[in-house]
Structure 1
Amino acid sequence: MLTDDEARESIIIALDCDCDTAIDLATRLRGKARWVKVGMTLFYAEGPSIVREMRDRGFKVFLDLKLHDIPFQVRGAARSASLTGADLLSIHGMGSSEMVRQARAGVEDAAGERGGDRTRLVAISVLTSMDQDALAEIGIDVPVEREVERLAGMSVGAGADGIVCSPKEAAQMRELLGPKALIVTPGVRPRGAAVGDQKRIATPASAIGAGASMLVIGRPITQADDPVEAYESVVRELCEA
């Protein structure tokens, strides 16, 4: 069971929408929600200003850009992303340990320039839209859980603060990475919500119970008739579990 404060700190609302919708949601959820996710759809449309806009409205920001390139480029991209004020940044674990090390160097560069806390890094393991068949299609013929474990160990060992994985792997990752690692889980669907394109999913309470640190929840909140009530219902679920 979480306290109300702990529950609100654990929920990241995914603003995978246009700018007007994101601003409307932020206005309605201000003072209630603590975290928002700015992903590719919104960031590519609006650029760094949308991160600053959310920060100015009092939100912490998970900048979910899934950086994946040569180490030199990722260092520069991580620095630039961190300079927007992002609190959390995603990179791809498949980019290699050297790429992860350079991403860490990039956010440390930014912290030295702007002062304050360093942007934390989470490495993508296997996307929650992928199942065993999708993994095999790209030439990875091991169980999903084993591939998640391999990428997680490598990424955290190279300087990531944690990983992004499905709720199905949360308990395994908590045991592998220890109590301090960030375990961020998309693919979270409140009871009764549509599954959408997610394959490896769980409810908010079961994901936290399995060891997740933070839950990324988008459409069940952002596309609800009453987003505030949908958000508050997740908070209640976490507090009552």
Structure 2
Amino acid sequence: MAARDRLIVGLDLSSQAEAERMVATLGDAVGFYKIGMQLSFSAGLGFARELVQSGKRVFLDMKLLDIPNTVAHAVEAIADMGVTFTTIHAYPQAMRAAVAGRGGSGLKLLGVTVLTSLDDTDLVETGYASGVGDLVLRRAAQAADIGMDGLICSPVEVAAIRATTGNALELITPGIRPAGADHGDQKRAATPASAVRNGADRLVVARPVIQAEDPRAAAERIVAEIESVTK
């Protein structure tokens, strides 16, 4: 995989106009974009279709979790949009429904293991008995058995998942912060080079690119850092 194809830029912006300007600014430096809740609710899902039609690849980050019938039909509708990836919280029941809803389409399903803003203390507060590491590995094994295509996981867990599931799942990591960047609300973060070196296939980067003084240059630096450890 080319280094540039490993970078997914998160369009975590408040309007379609802002997103369109960012895509224009980034130009051919970026070919893969994530559209999450913020932009979906402010601009609607039509923008995702427009990006696909323009030749860009789209990761629609919906983090689905509902009763099986609802998840299956939601995934079926997403598959018709032509996007590359969508996300489902990695609960076995929801993942099974998503695989059924995907059918024979080319949509790839990613299980969200544990959000990168959470740590062991947060899981205890939520009521989980296990820590982040144990829960991530359990959900990774379940995702592989169920037939998911990949996982969203923090760069901290990538190496352990690779050791237990091999290449059965594509590993996509948010929580990416270039050296010296503010981690913000990310509690389990790593640099681009570290994440890829540990086994990440693709990196999702939002704030370090879209909030940079020169977003295109920021994206190019990340691509160059990825290339430095993959060539």
TM-score range, shorter chain: over 0.9
- 1:1-20 alignment runs, 5 A limit: 6-18=2-14, 19-20=16-17
Displacement after TM superposition at 1:187 (Å): 0.4
In the alignment, what sits opposite 1:35? 32
| Cα shift at 1:200 | 0.2
Deviations 1:16-71 (A, max 9, x none): 11211111111122222121000011112222211112112321001000000011
Q: Is 1:76 equivalent to 2:73 in the alignment?
A: yes
After superposing on structure 2, the runs of 4+ consecutive aligned residues of structure 1 that deviate more than 3 Å are none
**Does the alignment pair 1:148 with 2:144?**
no
2:47 to 41, 47, 50: 50
Give the conservation status (yes or no) of the 8 Å contact 2:63–2:89. yes
Match of 1:177 among 165, 171, 196: 165
Partner deviation per Cα, 1:134-181 (whole Å, 9 max, x = no partner): 011011121210000011111221121111110000001112222241
**Aligned partner of 1:102 among 97, 102, 116:** 97
2:180 paired residue number: 192
What is the aligned partner in structure 2 of residue 115 from structure 1?
none
CA contact (8 A) 2:158 2:171 kept: yes
Secondary structure, counterpart of 1:63 in structure 2: strand
Percent identity of paired positions between Structure 1 and Structure 2: 39
Per the alignment, in what secondary structure is the counterpart of residue 2 of structure 2? helix
Contact 1:74 1:99 in 2 (8 A): yes
CA distance in 1, matches of 2:78, 2:42: 15
2:59 — aligned with what? 62
Which segments of 5 or more consecutive residues in structure 2 lack a partner in the other structure?
A: none
Task: Give the TM-score normalised by structure 2.
Answer: 0.95
Alpha-carbon shift at residue 82 of structure 1 (Å): 1.6
C-alpha contact (below 8 Å) 1:107/1:119 kept by paired residues: yes
**Counterpart AA for 2:84:** D
Q: Distance in 1 between matches of 2:198 and 2:25?
A: 30
Taking the aligned partners of 1:62 and 1:38, their CA distance within structure 2 comes to 6
Partner of 1:235: 223
Q: What is the match of residue 114 of structure 1?
A: none
CA contact (8 A) 2:11 2:35 kept: yes
Contact 2:88-2:94 at 8 Å conserved across structures: no
Q: TM-score, normalised by structure 1?
A: 0.91
Write the letter of the residue equivalent to 1:176: T
> 1:220 maps to what in 2?
208
SS at 1:167 equivalent: coil
Corresponding residue for residue 123 of structure 1: 111
Count of aligned residue pairs for this structure pair = 228
Instruction: Compute the displacement of 1:202 (Å).
Output: 0.3
The answer (yes or no) to whether the contact 2:4–2:30 under 8 Å persists in 1 is yes
